[in-house]
Amino acid sequence: MADKQYTDAIALLKADHRKVEDLFEKFSKASAKDRKWALAREICTELKIHSTIEEEIFYPTFEGKVEEDLWHEAYVEHDGAKVLINDIMAAEGKDDFFEAKVTVLCEEIGHHVQEEEKPGEGFFAQARESGVDMVELRDRMLARKEELMAQARGGGLPPAVLAAVQVQPA
Ligand SMILES: [Fe+2]
Ligand SMILES: [Fe+2]
């Protein structure tokens, strides 16, 4: 059973973080253009799925249970990443800023992951203290993740939708 792979909701989210870190590392070491684009595409898909399960299931569960500032910042950080993700996907690795965009995305995600995982005071630490059933939460997130993965393998995922930041049309 796939769900037995992760002890709870936080273990599932941390495993996603490690996977993306590994992909960013591979991206920084790759030199061939197509390889870099393939990795960037994989990073964007992973991040879209991860942010969706956090925003649809994990974050709402902890509204009022996690410090409000931290809770709000999580959404804004996701939105910042989504702007780059959508831009990277649209340009298909062909623009001059491609590598810079992926590098900055990596830095932004690094900061965000730290805010989530910071021992004692991060989002996850505060979430764990709330007493919410993390196993039930894992099951719901995993089910949604599998659905999104199937969608990604099929027609692909649509551009990420921003949750808090309003982007003005050009
Ligand atoms: Fe996360
Ligand atoms: Fe997050």
CA of 99 to the centre of ligand 2 (A): 23
What pLDDT score does 169 carry?
66
Distance CA 88, CA 77 (A): 17
pLDDT in tens, 93-129: 899 999 999 999 999 999 999 999 999 999 999 999 9
All structural domains of the chain with their residue ranges: 8-153
112, 74 contact by CB (below 8 A): yes
pLDDT at 7 exceeding the cut of 90: yes
Distance CA 115, CA 122 (A): 5
CA of 91 to the centre of ligand 1 (A): 25
**Which residue bears the tokens 């199937």?**
150
CA of 48 to the centre of ligand 1 (A): 11
Length in residues, the chain = 170
CA of 81 to the centre of ligand 2 (A): 10
Region of 156 on the Ramachandran plot (φ > 0 left; ψ -120 to 50 alpha; else beta)? left
163, 169 contact by CB (below 8 A): no
Q: What is the pTM of this model?
A: 0.95
- pLDDT confidence band for 24 (50 / 70 / 90): very high
Q: Which of 51, 44, 58 is nearest to 90 (CA)?
A: 44
Mean pLDDT value of segment 21-28: 98
Q: Taking all residues of the chain, what is their mean pLDDT, rounded to a whole number?
A: 95
- pLDDT confidence band for 5 (50 / 70 / 90): confident
